[in-house]
Amino acid sequence: MNKVYNVTILWGTDGFWKWLTEYILQEFCDSVSITITGRNKEKWNTVSQDIGVMFSDNNISAVQNADIVIYSVPISLTEKTINETLPYIPAGSVVADVTSIKKFPSKAMNVRDDITVIPTHPMFGPYISSIAGQVFVLTPEESVKMTPEYIFLKWFLEEKKAKIKQETPESHDKMMAVVQGLTHLNMFVVGETMKRLNFSIENSMDFISPIYKLMVSSVGRYLWQNPGLYADIQMYNDEVLSVHEAFLETTHNFHDSVRSWDSGKFCHDVLAAKDFVWAHTCQEWQEYTDKIIYMLGRQLDLLKENIWKQISLRNIYTSEQVTGKLLDFNENEICLEGKKNYNLNSWEILS
Protein backbone atom coordinates (compact mmCIF):
# COMPACT_ATOMS: atom_id res chain seq x y z
CA MET A 1 0.00 0.00 0.00
CA ASN A 2 1.37 3.40 -0.98
CA LYS A 3 2.18 5.88 1.77
CA VAL A 4 -0.33 8.68 2.27
CA TYR A 5 1.44 11.96 3.01
CA ASN A 6 -0.11 14.43 5.44
CA VAL A 7 0.03 17.85 3.82
CA THR A 8 -0.76 21.01 5.78
CA ILE A 9 -1.33 24.29 3.94
CA LEU A 10 -1.28 27.21 6.33
CA TRP A 11 -3.92 29.56 5.02
CA GLY A 12 -3.31 32.67 2.93
CA THR A 13 -5.25 34.40 0.19
CA ASP A 14 -8.52 32.86 -0.97
CA GLY A 15 -7.51 32.49 -4.60
CA PHE A 16 -4.04 31.01 -4.62
CA TRP A 17 -4.23 28.68 -1.62
CA LYS A 18 -7.48 27.23 -2.98
CA TRP A 19 -5.87 26.69 -6.38
CA LEU A 20 -2.84 25.10 -4.71
CA THR A 21 -4.98 22.75 -2.62
CA GLU A 22 -7.10 21.67 -5.58
CA TYR A 23 -4.02 21.20 -7.77
CA ILE A 24 -2.31 18.93 -5.23
CA LEU A 25 -5.53 16.92 -4.89
CA GLN A 26 -5.84 16.65 -8.66
CA GLU A 27 -2.30 15.38 -9.12
CA PHE A 28 -1.85 13.27 -5.97
CA CYS A 29 -5.36 12.39 -4.82
CA ASP A 30 -4.46 8.84 -3.72
CA SER A 31 -1.25 9.86 -1.97
CA VAL A 32 -2.17 12.87 0.17
CA SER A 33 -4.38 13.88 3.05
CA ILE A 34 -4.66 17.66 3.18
CA THR A 35 -5.37 19.94 6.12
CA ILE A 36 -5.89 23.66 5.62
CA THR A 37 -5.96 26.34 8.29
CA GLY A 38 -7.51 29.79 8.53
CA ARG A 39 -8.66 32.44 10.95
CA ASN A 40 -12.33 32.52 9.94
CA LYS A 41 -13.46 29.14 11.27
CA GLU A 42 -16.95 29.17 9.76
CA LYS A 43 -15.82 30.28 6.31
CA TRP A 44 -12.80 28.00 5.95
CA ASN A 45 -14.58 24.99 7.44
CA THR A 46 -17.27 25.35 4.76
CA VAL A 47 -14.68 25.78 2.00
CA SER A 48 -12.71 22.75 3.19
CA GLN A 49 -15.84 20.59 3.01
CA ASP A 50 -16.57 21.86 -0.50
CA ILE A 51 -13.18 20.75 -1.83
CA GLY A 52 -12.83 17.63 0.32
CA VAL A 53 -10.04 18.46 2.76
CA MET A 54 -9.78 18.83 6.53
CA PHE A 55 -9.83 22.15 8.36
CA SER A 56 -8.12 23.35 11.52
CA ASP A 57 -8.21 26.76 13.16
CA ASN A 58 -5.01 25.99 15.08
CA ASN A 59 -1.77 26.23 13.09
CA ILE A 60 0.32 24.42 15.68
CA SER A 61 -1.91 21.35 15.93
CA ALA A 62 -2.21 21.30 12.13
CA VAL A 63 1.55 20.88 11.60
CA GLN A 64 2.29 18.38 14.37
CA ASN A 65 1.68 15.28 12.23
CA ALA A 66 2.49 16.80 8.84
CA ASP A 67 4.90 15.26 6.34
CA ILE A 68 4.73 18.41 4.19
CA VAL A 69 4.01 21.95 5.41
CA ILE A 70 3.34 24.79 2.99
CA TYR A 71 3.19 28.37 4.23
CA SER A 72 0.66 30.18 2.01
CA VAL A 73 0.48 33.11 4.39
CA PRO A 74 0.22 36.90 3.85
CA ILE A 75 3.74 38.34 3.64
CA SER A 76 3.27 40.47 6.75
CA LEU A 77 2.45 37.36 8.81
CA THR A 78 4.85 34.88 7.23
CA GLU A 79 7.80 35.22 9.62
CA LYS A 80 5.56 35.26 12.69
CA THR A 81 3.70 32.14 11.52
CA ILE A 82 6.93 30.31 10.70
CA ASN A 83 8.43 31.14 14.10
CA GLU A 84 5.27 29.97 15.91
CA THR A 85 4.87 26.66 14.09
CA LEU A 86 8.33 25.51 12.99
CA PRO A 87 9.29 23.99 16.39
CA TYR A 88 6.27 21.66 16.19
CA ILE A 89 6.89 20.25 12.71
CA PRO A 90 8.14 16.63 12.83
CA ALA A 91 11.76 15.92 11.96
CA GLY A 92 12.16 14.72 8.39
CA SER A 93 9.30 16.83 7.06
CA VAL A 94 9.41 18.97 3.94
CA VAL A 95 8.73 22.65 4.58
CA ALA A 96 8.03 25.20 1.86
CA ASP A 97 6.53 28.63 1.38
CA VAL A 98 4.97 30.35 -1.62
CA THR A 99 5.82 33.90 -0.57
CA SER A 100 6.65 36.64 -3.08
CA ILE A 101 9.75 37.54 -1.02
CA LYS A 102 12.39 34.95 -0.27
CA LYS A 103 15.14 36.31 2.01
CA PHE A 104 13.37 36.49 5.34
CA PRO A 105 11.14 33.39 4.92
CA SER A 106 14.17 31.34 3.84
CA LYS A 107 16.16 32.49 6.85
CA ALA A 108 13.26 31.79 9.23
CA MET A 109 12.66 28.26 7.90
CA ASN A 110 16.33 27.28 7.78
CA VAL A 111 16.91 27.46 11.53
CA ARG A 112 16.38 23.69 11.71
CA ASP A 113 18.68 21.15 10.06
CA ASP A 114 16.38 18.12 10.52
CA ILE A 115 13.80 19.22 7.92
CA THR A 116 14.02 19.81 4.16
CA VAL A 117 13.37 23.48 3.34
CA ILE A 118 12.30 24.42 -0.21
CA PRO A 119 11.45 28.13 -0.48
CA THR A 120 9.29 28.62 -3.57
CA HIS A 121 7.74 31.48 -5.51
CA PRO A 122 5.13 30.48 -8.12
CA MET A 123 5.03 33.45 -10.49
CA PHE A 124 1.33 33.27 -11.36
CA GLY A 125 -2.15 33.61 -9.94
CA PRO A 126 -4.93 31.05 -9.59
CA TYR A 127 -6.60 31.60 -12.96
CA ILE A 128 -4.43 29.46 -15.22
CA SER A 129 -5.40 26.51 -17.39
CA SER A 130 -2.20 24.58 -16.56
CA ILE A 131 1.26 25.18 -15.08
CA ALA A 132 2.89 24.59 -18.48
CA GLY A 133 5.06 27.61 -19.23
CA GLN A 134 4.50 29.08 -15.75
CA VAL A 135 7.56 30.14 -13.75
CA PHE A 136 8.48 28.56 -10.42
CA VAL A 137 11.40 30.23 -8.65
CA LEU A 138 13.10 27.84 -6.21
CA THR A 139 15.61 29.18 -3.68
CA PRO A 140 16.85 26.21 -1.63
CA GLU A 141 20.26 25.96 0.00
CA GLU A 142 22.80 24.03 -2.08
CA SER A 143 22.65 20.96 0.16
CA VAL A 144 18.89 20.62 -0.44
CA LYS A 145 19.32 20.28 -4.20
CA MET A 146 20.59 16.72 -3.75
CA THR A 147 17.72 15.54 -1.55
CA PRO A 148 15.12 13.10 -2.96
CA GLU A 149 12.30 15.52 -2.12
CA TYR A 150 13.81 18.39 -4.10
CA ILE A 151 14.78 16.13 -7.01
CA PHE A 152 11.19 14.84 -7.17
CA LEU A 153 9.70 18.36 -7.08
CA LYS A 154 12.01 19.55 -9.83
CA TRP A 155 11.27 16.44 -11.93
CA PHE A 156 7.51 16.86 -11.45
CA LEU A 157 7.55 20.51 -12.50
CA GLU A 158 9.68 19.72 -15.53
CA GLU A 159 7.28 16.92 -16.52
CA LYS A 160 4.44 19.46 -16.38
CA LYS A 161 6.48 21.76 -18.65
CA ALA A 162 6.77 24.47 -16.00
CA LYS A 163 9.72 26.85 -16.21
CA ILE A 164 12.05 26.46 -13.23
CA LYS A 165 14.47 29.13 -12.03
CA GLN A 166 16.91 28.20 -9.28
CA GLU A 167 18.14 31.31 -7.49
CA THR A 168 19.47 32.45 -4.16
CA PRO A 169 16.97 34.30 -1.93
CA GLU A 170 19.08 37.45 -2.39
CA SER A 171 19.10 37.35 -6.19
CA HIS A 172 15.37 36.55 -6.19
CA ASP A 173 14.48 39.59 -4.10
CA LYS A 174 16.70 41.87 -6.17
CA MET A 175 14.97 40.66 -9.34
CA MET A 176 11.49 40.98 -7.79
CA ALA A 177 12.21 44.56 -6.79
CA VAL A 178 11.93 45.36 -10.51
CA VAL A 179 9.67 42.57 -11.82
CA GLN A 180 7.08 43.21 -9.10
CA GLY A 181 8.08 46.36 -7.23
CA LEU A 182 8.62 48.60 -10.25
CA THR A 183 5.75 47.15 -12.28
CA HIS A 184 3.20 47.46 -9.48
CA LEU A 185 4.36 50.96 -8.56
CA ASN A 186 3.93 52.07 -12.17
CA MET A 187 0.38 50.68 -12.32
CA PHE A 188 -0.65 52.38 -9.06
CA VAL A 189 0.94 55.67 -10.07
CA VAL A 190 -1.01 55.67 -13.34
CA GLY A 191 -4.27 54.92 -11.53
CA GLU A 192 -3.69 57.53 -8.82
CA THR A 193 -2.65 60.13 -11.42
CA MET A 194 -5.92 59.58 -13.31
CA LYS A 195 -7.79 60.07 -10.04
CA ARG A 196 -5.95 63.30 -9.29
CA LEU A 197 -6.73 64.56 -12.78
CA ASN A 198 -10.39 63.55 -12.33
CA PHE A 199 -9.88 61.82 -15.67
CA SER A 200 -12.90 60.04 -17.16
CA ILE A 201 -11.86 56.50 -17.97
CA GLU A 202 -15.35 55.85 -19.34
CA ASN A 203 -15.15 58.73 -21.80
CA SER A 204 -11.65 57.69 -22.84
CA MET A 205 -13.08 54.40 -24.14
CA ASP A 206 -14.46 56.40 -27.10
CA PHE A 207 -10.85 57.23 -28.05
CA ILE A 208 -9.40 53.83 -27.30
CA SER A 209 -6.50 52.15 -29.05
CA PRO A 210 -5.66 48.47 -28.45
CA ILE A 211 -2.48 49.32 -26.52
CA TYR A 212 -4.26 51.90 -24.37
CA LYS A 213 -6.90 49.29 -23.53
CA LEU A 214 -4.19 46.80 -22.54
CA MET A 215 -2.54 49.43 -20.35
CA VAL A 216 -5.77 50.51 -18.67
CA SER A 217 -6.76 46.88 -18.21
CA SER A 218 -3.45 46.21 -16.46
CA VAL A 219 -3.96 49.19 -14.17
CA GLY A 220 -7.50 48.06 -13.39
CA ARG A 221 -6.30 44.49 -12.72
CA TYR A 222 -3.96 45.65 -9.96
CA LEU A 223 -6.40 48.17 -8.50
CA TRP A 224 -9.11 45.48 -8.28
CA GLN A 225 -7.00 43.15 -6.15
CA ASN A 226 -6.02 43.18 -2.49
CA PRO A 227 -4.00 46.36 -1.81
CA GLY A 228 -2.56 44.80 1.34
CA LEU A 229 -0.74 42.18 -0.74
CA TYR A 230 0.87 44.85 -2.91
CA ALA A 231 1.76 46.99 0.10
CA ASP A 232 3.54 43.97 1.59
CA ILE A 233 5.42 43.28 -1.67
CA GLN A 234 6.61 46.88 -1.71
CA MET A 235 7.47 47.19 1.98
CA TYR A 236 8.91 43.79 2.94
CA ASN A 237 11.39 43.58 0.06
CA ASP A 238 14.37 45.64 1.20
CA GLU A 239 15.56 45.98 -2.41
CA VAL A 240 12.53 48.01 -3.50
CA LEU A 241 13.36 51.51 -2.25
CA SER A 242 16.44 51.86 -4.47
CA VAL A 243 14.26 50.90 -7.44
CA HIS A 244 11.73 53.57 -6.41
CA GLU A 245 14.51 56.17 -6.31
CA ALA A 246 15.64 55.27 -9.84
CA PHE A 247 12.01 55.39 -11.04
CA LEU A 248 11.46 58.85 -9.53
CA GLU A 249 14.73 60.20 -10.96
CA THR A 250 13.84 58.85 -14.41
CA THR A 251 10.35 60.33 -14.25
CA HIS A 252 11.76 63.75 -13.37
CA ASN A 253 14.32 63.39 -16.17
CA PHE A 254 11.66 62.87 -18.85
CA HIS A 255 9.46 65.55 -17.27
CA ASP A 256 12.33 68.05 -17.48
CA SER A 257 12.93 67.17 -21.15
CA VAL A 258 9.28 67.85 -21.99
CA ARG A 259 9.10 71.02 -19.90
CA SER A 260 12.20 72.43 -21.62
CA TRP A 261 11.14 71.32 -25.11
CA ASP A 262 14.34 69.30 -25.37
CA SER A 263 13.30 66.80 -28.04
CA GLY A 264 16.89 65.75 -28.62
CA LYS A 265 17.43 64.70 -25.01
CA PHE A 266 14.02 63.00 -24.88
CA CYS A 267 14.76 60.91 -27.99
CA HIS A 268 18.32 60.21 -26.85
CA ASP A 269 17.06 58.75 -23.56
CA VAL A 270 14.42 56.63 -25.29
CA LEU A 271 16.97 55.25 -27.75
CA ALA A 272 19.45 54.63 -24.92
CA ALA A 273 16.81 52.58 -23.10
CA LYS A 274 16.08 50.70 -26.32
CA ASP A 275 19.79 49.92 -26.76
CA PHE A 276 20.01 48.74 -23.15
CA VAL A 277 17.21 46.19 -23.51
CA TRP A 278 18.37 45.36 -27.07
CA ALA A 279 16.47 46.17 -30.20
CA HIS A 280 15.59 42.53 -30.94
CA THR A 281 14.02 42.19 -27.47
CA CYS A 282 11.89 45.28 -28.06
CA GLN A 283 10.80 43.75 -31.35
CA GLU A 284 9.86 40.50 -29.58
CA TRP A 285 7.77 42.44 -27.06
CA GLN A 286 6.01 44.31 -29.85
CA GLU A 287 5.26 41.00 -31.55
CA TYR A 288 3.95 39.60 -28.25
CA THR A 289 1.55 42.52 -27.78
CA ASP A 290 0.63 42.38 -31.47
CA LYS A 291 -0.36 38.74 -30.96
CA ILE A 292 -2.58 39.63 -27.99
CA ILE A 293 -4.25 42.35 -30.03
CA TYR A 294 -4.65 39.95 -32.98
CA MET A 295 -6.19 37.24 -30.80
CA LEU A 296 -8.67 39.70 -29.27
CA GLY A 297 -9.67 40.82 -32.74
CA ARG A 298 -9.87 37.22 -33.96
CA GLN A 299 -12.26 36.46 -31.11
CA LEU A 300 -14.70 39.02 -32.51
CA ASP A 301 -14.18 37.69 -36.03
CA LEU A 302 -15.04 34.20 -34.79
CA LEU A 303 -18.28 35.46 -33.29
CA LYS A 304 -19.12 37.32 -36.50
CA GLU A 305 -18.61 34.12 -38.50
CA ASN A 306 -20.93 32.16 -36.19
CA ILE A 307 -23.86 34.55 -35.79
CA TRP A 308 -27.14 32.57 -35.61
CA LYS A 309 -25.18 29.34 -35.11
CA GLN A 310 -24.73 27.11 -32.07
CA ILE A 311 -21.63 27.97 -30.07
CA SER A 312 -20.16 26.68 -26.80
CA LEU A 313 -18.59 28.82 -24.09
CA ARG A 314 -16.52 27.99 -21.01
CA ASN A 315 -16.09 30.24 -17.98
CA ILE A 316 -12.36 30.69 -17.34
CA TYR A 317 -12.93 31.05 -13.58
CA THR A 318 -15.47 28.31 -12.83
CA SER A 319 -15.09 26.01 -15.89
CA GLU A 320 -18.91 26.16 -16.35
CA GLN A 321 -19.90 25.44 -19.95
CA VAL A 322 -22.93 26.66 -21.87
CA THR A 323 -24.16 26.07 -25.41
CA GLY A 324 -26.70 28.08 -27.37
CA LYS A 325 -27.52 29.94 -30.55
CA LEU A 326 -25.52 33.15 -30.91
CA LEU A 327 -28.01 36.01 -31.34
CA ASP A 328 -25.77 39.04 -30.93
CA PHE A 329 -22.45 40.24 -29.54
CA ASN A 330 -20.30 43.30 -29.01
CA GLU A 331 -16.77 43.81 -27.72
CA ASN A 332 -17.99 43.20 -24.16
CA GLU A 333 -20.88 40.71 -24.25
CA ILE A 334 -22.22 37.62 -25.98
CA CYS A 335 -25.99 37.05 -26.21
CA LEU A 336 -27.22 33.45 -26.55
CA GLU A 337 -30.84 32.58 -27.37
CA GLY A 338 -32.93 32.01 -24.27
CA LYS A 339 -30.00 32.64 -21.96
CA LYS A 340 -28.43 35.56 -20.14
CA ASN A 341 -25.72 37.72 -21.66
CA TYR A 342 -22.14 36.52 -21.06
CA ASN A 343 -19.17 38.78 -20.37
CA LEU A 344 -16.71 38.19 -23.19
CA ASN A 345 -13.75 38.74 -20.84
CA SER A 346 -14.81 35.82 -18.62
CA TRP A 347 -15.86 33.27 -21.23
CA GLU A 348 -13.74 31.29 -23.66
CA ILE A 349 -15.22 30.42 -27.07
CA LEU A 350 -14.86 26.66 -27.45
CA SER A 351 -16.63 26.14 -30.78
Among 223, 258, 277, identify where a domain stops.
277
- Closest C-alpha to 139, from 155, 121, 154, 152: 121
Residue 207: CATH number of its domain: 1.10.3660
* Mean pLDDT calculated for residue range 294-307: 88
Domain identity same for 212 and 252: yes
pLDDT score at 114 = 96
Do 142 and 82 share a structural domain? Answer: yes
Are 70 and 197 within one domain?
no
Domain, as residue range, for 63: 5-167
Let me know whether 137 and 210 are in one domain: no
The last residue of one of the domains, among 277, 303, 322, is 277
Instruction: State pLDDT tens for residues 69-123.
Output: 999 999 999 999 999 999 999 999 999 999 999 999 999 999 999 999 999 999 9
Greater confidence, 234 or 313?
Answer: 234
Do 135 and 175 have their domain in common?
A: no
Domain boundary among 137, 167, 197: 167
Claim to verify: residue 73 and residue 192 sit in the same structural domain: no
Do 120 and 188 sit in the same domain of this protein?
Answer: no
Same domain, 99 and 132: yes
Residue 14: per-residue pLDDT: 62
* pLDDT tens, position by position, 10-67: 975 567 888 888 889 889 988 999 999 987 777 777 777 888 899 988 999 999 999 9
304 with 262, same domain: the answer is no
Same domain flag for 216 and 335: no
Q: Taking all residues of the chain, what is their mean pLDDT, rounded to a whole number?
A: 91
* Residue 145 shares a structural domain with residue 57: yes
What is the tally of structural domains in the chain? Answer: 3
How are beta strands 116-122 and 135-138 bridged, if at all? antiparallel
pTM: 0.85
